[in-house]
């Protein structure tokens, strides 16, 4: 194996390892959000988590003396900010007022397809036709499960989750493209900083009249989504996407529903039906085929 192939293989493995760490961290996001919205509004939660993460990002950028992004990188950073700092957290928090965490997590099976589509549109990647077939099969399994649960489905909640998946896929692809030149933690940090002034103002506006209803679990959930879901997870995730390929590593998101369902059952005592498990396992199985034909 020549040095070029060896480096490519090493980057691929490193990309998958970083991506997997990101997925593991993200898998706790929806259960934690579900806990938080039981005692605070989805708007206050979204704005507060972004504000806390943004202040940490300022500390990182200033403390490590990072250069400001070029003017040409500002618009892509705004897209990242709108997608993953504001859009996805707000839409999922609103959705979780209508559906359970376990139900919403299954929609995350659509994220690999969304990420891959935007990877083609924004990242210039060109996976093989077979890759799209496996991705579509996984997506159909997810949507088939959602439709089969009509007795407990909220149309509002499902539409909000679909919108969240779309804006998140765009934010992932745009962030991965920027990571190749800026670095993973720098991308999410600058995206958080761009949103920080608006998020701080919005936090003040949506401040609840009283915090008496907040439990220790509520504050712990807010801490998790602020530190891990909003900052640390993206450091690994963007690095993984940049090194291993947006469409390729993006398929690791098929593992997120499985991990999230386990957390929902453990932490929230939500029921996980056999059909839900079958749908999740089927969607995970598609990553094997998609991975093989992703290049």
Closest alpha carbon to 233 in 144, 278, 172, 180: 172
Most distant CA pair in the chain: distance in Å? 64
Check if the beta carbon of residue 149 is closer than 8 Å to that of residue 105. no
**In whole angstroms, what is the distance from residue 76 CA to residue 56 CA?**
21
* DSSP type of residue 272: -
Please classify residue 18 by burial: count the beta carbons closer than 10 Å to its beta carbon, then call 0-12 exposed, 13-18 middle and 19+ buried. Answer: buried
Q: Which tens digits make up the pLDDT trace of 66-95?
A: 989 999 999 999 999 999 999 998 898 898
Q: How far apart are the first and last CA of the chain?
A: 19
Token duo for residue 91:
């839409």
Instruction: Look at residue 34 in the predicted model and tell me its pLDDT.
Output: 84
Q: What does the alpha-carbon distance between residue 236 and residue 22 come to, in Å, rounded to a whole number? A: 5
Higher pLDDT, 280 or 202: 202
Specify the pLDDT at position 233. Answer: 93
Secondary structure letter of residue 183 according to DSSP? -
pLDDT above 90 (res 267) = no
Least trusted range by pLDDT, from 22-26, 136-140, 282-286:
282-286
Band of residue 147 on the pLDDT scale cut at 50, 70, 90: low
Q: How confident is residue 265, by pLDDT bands cut at 50, 70 and 90?
A: confident
Q: Please say if the pLDDT value at position 64 is more than 80.
A: yes
pLDDT tier at 101 (50, 70, 90 boundaries)?
confident
For residue 197, pLDDT beyond 90: yes
- Pick from 1-15, 180-194, 219-233: least confident: 1-15
Q: What is the DSSP letter of 153?
A: -
């Amino acid at each position: 194996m020549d040095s070029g192939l060896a480096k490519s293989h090493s980057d691929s493995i490193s990309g998958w390892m970083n991506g997997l760490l990101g997925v593991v961290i993200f898998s706790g996001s929806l259960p934690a959000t579900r806990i938080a919205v039981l005692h605070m509004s989805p708007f206050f939660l979204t704005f507060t988590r972004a504000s806390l993460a943004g202040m940490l990002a300022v500390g990182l950028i200033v403390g490590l003396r990072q250069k400001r992004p070029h003017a040409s990188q500002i618009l892509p950073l705004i897209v990242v900010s709108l997608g993953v700092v504001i859009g996805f957290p707000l839409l999922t928090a609103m959705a979780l007022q209508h559906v359970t965490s376990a139900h919403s997590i299954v929609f995350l099976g659509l994220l690999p397809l969304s990420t891959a589509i935007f990877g083609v549109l924004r990242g210039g990647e060109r996976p093989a036709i077979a890759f799209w077939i496996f991705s579509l099969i996984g997506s159909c399994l997810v949507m088939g499960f959602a439709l089969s649960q009509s007795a407990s489905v909220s149309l509002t909640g499902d539409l909000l989750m679909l919108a969240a998946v779309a804006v998140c896929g765009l934010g992932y692809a745009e962030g991965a493209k920027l990571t190749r030149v800026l670095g993973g933690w720098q991308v999410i940090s600058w995206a958080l900083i761009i949103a920080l002034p608006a998020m701080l103002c919005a936090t003040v506006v949506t401040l609840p009249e009283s915090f008496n209803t907040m439990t220790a679990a509520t504050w712990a959930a807010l801490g998790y989504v602020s530190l891990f879901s909003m900052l640390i997870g993206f450091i690994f995730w963007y690095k993984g996407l940049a090194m291993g390929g947006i469409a390729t590593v993006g398929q690791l998101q098929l593992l997120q529903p499985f991990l999230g369902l386990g957390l929902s059952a453990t932490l929230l005592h939500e029921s996980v039906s056999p059909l839900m498990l079958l749908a999740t396992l089927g969607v995970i199985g598609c990553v094997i085929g998609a991975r093989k034909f992703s290049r």
